[in-house]
Amino acid sequence: QQKVQQSPESLIVPEGAMTSLNCTFSDSASQYFAWYRQHSGKAPKALMSIFSNGEKEEGRFTIHLNKASLHFSLHIRDSQPSDSALYLCAVSTGYQNFYFGKGTSLTVIP
């Protein structure tokens, strides 16, 4: 079964800082990689996703994928207090079920 691990478990950064979150996976046949964000007491919500090696940028958020290293990451530029949430990475081998990491709890201090 797919193993998905995230690091760090928690992170505290000042407002305006660059934040980097990491995710590793075990199945080299994985095809779809995504980040979800879950604010306290709320449902997880899709943030962004990527299929192929490389980088994808959407506003302040950038996702990097390196399939050979079984690793992808999320970078948040100019972090804001509203970015404070639990960040979950998700991996799928296609139109199959999605496996999630345990999450990284991010706190952005004003």
Q: Does 3 bind another protein (CB under 8 A)?
A: no
Considering only the stretches 10-18, 34-42, 64-72, 73-81, report the one whose residues sit in contact with another protein under the rule CB under 8 A. 34-42
Task: Using alpha carbons, list the distances in angstroms from residue 8 to 5, 88, 90, 109.
Answer: 10, 12, 16, 17
CA–CA separation, 89 vs 74, rounded Å? 9
Which member of 43, 59, 68, 82 binds another protein (CB under 8 A)? 43
Does the protein bind another protein through residue 46 (CB under 8 A)? yes
**What whole-number distance in Å separates Cα of residue 24 and Cα of residue 77?**
21
Q: What type of residue is 32? A: Y
The correct pick among 18, 96, 107, 109 for binding another protein (CB under 8 A) is 96
User: Does position 95 bind another protein by CB under 8 A?
Assistant: yes
Helix (DSSP H) and strand (DSSP E) numbers for the chain: 0, 11
Asked if 101 is part of the footprint of another protein (rule: CB under 8 A), the reply reads yes
Interface residue list for another protein (CB under 8 A): 1, 32, 34, 36, 42-46, 49, 88, 90, 92, 95-103
